[in-house]
Amino acid sequence: MTSFFKKVWVITVNTFREAVRDRVLYSIVFFALLILALSTVMDIITIGQKSKIIKDVGLASISIFGTLIAIFVGIGLVYKELDKRTIYTIVAKPVTRFQFLLGKYFGLVLTIFVEVLAMGLIFVAIAFFVTGSLDMRLFIAIGLIFLELMVVCGVAIFFSSFSTPILSGMFTLGVYVIGHTTRDLYEFSANFKGTFLEMFFKILYYVFPNLDNFNIRSQVVHGLPISGEYFLFSISYGVLYIAILLIISSIVFTKRDFK
Amino acid sequence: MSEKAVELKGIYKAYKTGFTMKKVNALNGVDLVINKGEVFGYLGPNGSGKTTTLKLIMGIIYPDSGEIEVMSKSPYDISVKEKIGFLPESPYFYDYLTAVEFLDFYARLFSIPRGVRNERIRRLLKSVGLEERADEPLRRFSRGMLQRIGIAQALINDPEIVFLDEPMSGLDPLGRAEVKEIIQGLKREGKTIVFSSHILPDVEAIADRVGIIVEGKIRDVGNLDRMLDDRVSFVEVTVYGLDHDLLKSLKGKVEVKRTLGDRTVLLIDGAENINEVIDYLRSLKISIESVEPIRVTLEELFLSEIKGKTK
């Protein structure tokens, strides 16, 4: 590991440690209980569709849970360092602000990874017991949910690098909601051909992340095929979007004064 | 000529505050040189610009104009940060970490090898008197203990220059004495120490040179003895048997500080009057008990600088 990434890793571990000691991961227990309760209820009220509904609800729960944690933890991460002025001691050390921000980001991602991994394993186990078969494609769906959450973490860190937690939370949630409707925005823009609004909606489409790129829930639930190219495209899109977010965040963060 | 540890040239810095983003000037053209190996006391009332100056040197904020050099390099140069230590004002640290984890975190940011790291952490905890609390989380630490672990954090890389922002504020007399001792120990090791304070006796006790900043401008910088010697402005003379008529004849040259029975304490203002008054008193066979030059205390000097009355 080069010296650059070693220092990023030091911040990553510290960020993860903070989340663990703040008992963020306790939410996994809550998730497990929720899924158990849901699957019991589903067992009673559904006939024949049980397997599909368990998978659909389970994957949706992982996504929503993960998003909430990414937003709640993410928006406060950088702000807390500024508010408590711990950033002063970091800036005085041989660490660039870019390294600091990367460390914070990966610390958040590591927290989400552990969270999603635990939720995923609990969910797959329950799905196995309920349906009697192991659907390996659930892992692909969970993997893509994780990638989506990595984008959400990036958005949270981006807003957190210059804004307060409440505003960052609102903005990130806004991006999340719009991110799931960008395709509609693109189609909507066609109604305003040649006008300013067409341009406006197209810009929104390109600027906001298309989070539906990471959503293969319906294919997995209904047993439809997923092409390798689609999978590859989603990964490349996610990585590129995160990289751009982190670079912009870092530029903003490097230029600002810490009061 | 001593080597420069830090140099600030014509630094201006304004903050935008409030809803209207009104500009408030924090520093108005600060020029300052801090030499290698000295203990520099940075004095000023609250809001005078002490913390702003230190934050600029640390690269926490950027100046609007002017130049900053730390060891002849830009303060944003990572290699500079390898050689400096910084304790912010009223530090609030990662309170979920234990004292050892906390120091280990900072040591890793310097890529200090494990063996050296462990040894240094142990030594630092001992020198700031926290070895017994090594494995306790910082959230259980008192204000004074946080200040001490903060100092340990600033020394984790064995820095050449240590910047301490108000290291003694909020501490009880014992805590202040401990911090003073640490600073004196660092001085003996040949380190450059820059600390800000508004607790004057502490500055007087440990600083080699002092800079006084008021409203974002440096009012005076120099050797503390020189600054105070320059202002030996009067002499206190205690005499016996001085009557009212005699006093009248000395009008304008002396001031009666107090009378105790037939003993009178006179204040003679201005060096040129001292010999003249004493000769006059002696010629009248007035008995002089003592002659004592009264030096301006740092406190008086400081207050007069704040009021802008000196020079």
Q: Which amino acid is at B61?
A: I
B162 and B278 within one domain: no
B76 near A CB under 8 A: no
Give the total number of structural domains in chain B: 2
Name the more confident of B45 and B218: B218
B132 and B9 within one domain: yes
Residue B238, both tokens: 């205690």
Name the more confident of B63 and B290: B63
User: Average pLDDT in the A97-122 region?
Assistant: 95
**Residue B253 has what DSSP assignment?**
T
The pLDDT of residue B310 is 44
In a domain, B42, yes or no: yes
Judge: A94–B82 Cβ closer than 8 Å, yes or no: yes
**Residues present in chain B in total:** 311
B26 and B140 within one domain: yes
Question: How are beta strands B39-43 and B192-197 bridged, if at all?
Answer: parallel
**Residue B2 has what DSSP assignment?**
P
In a domain, B48, yes or no: yes
B166 and B58 within one domain: yes
Identify the three-state secondary structure at position B125.
helix
Output the furthest CA–CA distance in chain A (Å, rounded): 63
In a domain, B145, yes or no: yes
B248 and B214 within one domain: no
- Residue where one domain finishes, among candidates B205, B229, B253: B229
The gap from C-alpha A189 to its chain's centroid, in whole angstroms, comes to 27
B261 and B215 within one domain: no
In a domain, B305, yes or no: no
Residue B115, pLDDT above cutoff 90: yes
B252 and B188 within one domain: no
Task: Give the pLDDT band (50/70/90) at residue B231.
Answer: low
- Residue B130 in contact with residue B93, Cβ under 8 Å? no
In a domain, B306, yes or no: no
CA–CA separation, B109 and B153 (whole Å): 11
In a domain, B311, yes or no: no
Pick the residue from chain A with its C-alpha nearest to B60.
Answer: A258
Residue B160, pLDDT above cutoff 90: yes
In a domain, B150, yes or no: yes
B243 and B212 within one domain: no
CATH number at residue B273: 3.30.70
Residue A149, pLDDT above cutoff 90: yes
The predicted-structure confidence for A199-256, as pLDDT tens digits, reads as follows 888 888 889 999 988 988 888 888 888 888 988 999 999 999 999 999 999 999 999 9
Task: Give the pLDDT band (50/70/90) at residue B232.
Answer: low
Judge: A91–B93 Cβ closer than 8 Å, yes or no: no
**Residues present in chain A in total:** 259
The pLDDT of residue B311 is 43
Model confidence, pTM: 0.85
Which residues of chain B does A10 touch, with a Cβ-Cβ cutoff of 8 Å?
A: 105, 108-109
B105 and B211 within one domain: yes
How crowded is residue B35: how many other Cβ atoms within 10 Å of its Cβ? 16
B194 and B283 within one domain: no
User: Average pLDDT in the B282-288 region?
Assistant: 87
Give A42 to chain B, closest Cα distance, Å.
41
- Residue A65 in contact with residue A31, Cβ under 8 Å? yes
Judge: B58–A92 Cβ closer than 8 Å, yes or no: yes
CATH number at residue B37: 3.40.50.300
In a domain, B300, yes or no: no
B109 and B95 within one domain: yes
What residues make up the domain containing B252?
234-294
Q: How far apart are the first and last CA of chain B?
A: 26
The predicted-structure confidence for B85-96, as pLDDT tens digits, reads as follows 999 987 778 889
How crowded is residue A48: how many other Cβ atoms within 10 Å of its Cβ? 7
B274 and B222 within one domain: no
The predicted-structure confidence for A44-69, as pLDDT tens digits, reads as follows 777 667 778 888 888 988 999 899 99
- Residue where one domain finishes, among candidates B176, B201, B229: B229
- Residue where one domain finishes, among candidates B209, B229, B249: B229
